[in-house]
């Protein structure tokens, strides 16, 4: 997918942010176009998760700005971000173990204003993740890791976001379920024209399903380029191996 000539759906412009008065990000600029899958790669502590949290309004900016479809969104709350078309799936399986699959979806759909809208969104999410339809009455504590991730993803997609931020969606999964999950994400992006910014440690797997990649180091973007050619780029490989 080429982004040439396309207006970015999301832009971060020289943003800085962090915790307790100490910046973790130092002037980070990235962009994601509509319907594009972008990989965000880097070692632990490089600022990847902080970038997602900053975009979603969880971590406040200390400098720079974030734009969605050309409009500044850096000061929006997480709830308003959802209404603006941005959804976030944090690291780990953030679902309610004591609730059923259906009950988890009902909780996630509560942000939608009308009962009919909520019911339709739930049914559409169950259709997208067909494997959940037969287990909708099961409590989530009894599900496999892959099933739990599907519940988390189905919940994140309830609001039909323009942009989905995913923090290590394959965390805790074996290689085969991990690859299947990432492949499903690429299919969902194409089917729904949903842009995705994915933090992922399985580098080759996420490069295989993404259009472009950013590699972060020490709170900065150290590399950006097309995913299909990243592993053949000596600069990318050196940065990836350098700790």
Of residues 66 and 91, more confidence is placed in 66
Split at pLDDT 50, 70, 90, the class of 1 is very low
Q: Are strands 195-199 and 37-42 parallel, antiparallel or unpaired?
A: parallel
Summarised one tens digit per residue, pLDDT across range 113-137 is: 888 989 999 998 888 888 888 999 9
Predicted local confidence at residue 42, as pLDDT: 94
Mean pLDDT, to the nearest integer, of 195-210?
A: 95
Mean pLDDT of the chain: 90
Please, are residues 38 and 214 in contact by the beta-carbon 8 Å criterion? yes
Predicted local confidence at residue 230, as pLDDT: 94
Predicted local confidence at residue 78, as pLDDT: 78
The domain spans of the chain are: 1-85+161-243, 96-160
Question: Above 90 in pLDDT, residue 240?
Answer: no
* Predicted TM-score (pTM) of this structure: 0.90
- Please provide the DSSP assignment of the chain as one string: ---TTPPEEEEEEEEEEEETTEEEEEEEEEEEETT-EEEEEE-TTSSHHHHHHHHTTSS-EEEEEEEETTEE-TT--HHHHHHHTEEEE-SS--S-TTSBHHHHHHHHGGGSSSHHHHHHHHHHHHHHTGGGGGGTTSBGGGS-HHHHHHHHHHHHTTT--SEEEEE-TTTT--HHHHHHHHHHHHHHHHHHT-EEEEE-S-HHHHHHH-SEEEEEETTEEEEEEEHHHHTT-HHHHHHHH--
Predicted local confidence at residue 48, as pLDDT: 97
Question: Above 50 in pLDDT, residue 190?
Answer: yes
Split at pLDDT 50, 70, 90, the class of 4 is low
Summarised one tens digit per residue, pLDDT across range 73-113 is: 877 777 888 888 999 999 876 789 999 999 999 998 888 88
Backbone angles phi, psi at 84, to 5 degrees: -80, -10
Which of 24-28, 43-47, 90-94, 207-211 bottoms out in mean pLDDT, i.e. has the lowest? 90-94
CA-closest candidate to residue 94, choices 18, 166, 187, 196: 166
Predicted local confidence at residue 5, as pLDDT: 55
Question: Above 80 in pLDDT, residue 72?
Answer: yes
Predicted local confidence at residue 243, as pLDDT: 58
What percentage of the chain carries pLDDT values higher than 90?
Answer: 63
Mean pLDDT, to the nearest integer, of 32-59?
A: 95
Mean pLDDT, to the nearest integer, of 45-53?
A: 96
Question: Above 90 in pLDDT, residue 3?
Answer: no
Of residues 79 and 60, more confidence is placed in 60
The CATH number for 1-85+161-243, chosen from 3.40.50.300, 3.40.50.970, 3.20.20.70, 3.40.50.880, is 3.40.50.300
Predicted local confidence at residue 2, as pLDDT: 45
């Amino acid at each position: 997918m080429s982004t040439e000539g396309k207006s970015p759906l999301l832009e971060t412009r020289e943003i800085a942010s962090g915790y307790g008065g100490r910046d973790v990000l130092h002037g980070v600029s990235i962009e994601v176009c509509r319907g594009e899958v972008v990989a965000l790669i880097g070692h632990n502590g490089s600022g990847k998760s902080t970038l997602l949290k900053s975009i979603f309004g969880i971590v406040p900016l200390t400098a720079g700005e974030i734009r969605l479809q050309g409009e500044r969104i850096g000061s929006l709350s997480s709830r308003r971000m959802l209404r603006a078309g941005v959804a976030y799936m944090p690291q780990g399986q953030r679902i309610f173990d004591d609730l059923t699959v259906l009950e988890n979806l009902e909780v996630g759909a509560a942000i939608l204003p009308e009962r009919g809208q909520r019911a339709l969104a739930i049914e559409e999410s169950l259709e997208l993740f067909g494997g959940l339809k037969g287990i909708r009455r099961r409590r989530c504590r009894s599900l496999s890791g892959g099933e739990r991730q599907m519940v988390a993803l189905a919940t994140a997609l309830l609001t039909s976001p323009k942009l989905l931020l995913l923090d290590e969606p394959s965390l805790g999964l074996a290689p085969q379920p991990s690859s299947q999950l990432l492949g499903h994400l690429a299919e969902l992006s194409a089917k729904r024209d949903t842009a995705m910014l994915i933090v992922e440690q399985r580098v080759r797997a996420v490069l295989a399903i993404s259009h472009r990649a950013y590699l972060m180091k020490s709170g900065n973007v150290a590399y950006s380029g097309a995913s299909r050619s990243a592993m053949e780029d000596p600069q990318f490989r050196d940065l990836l191996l350098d700790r």
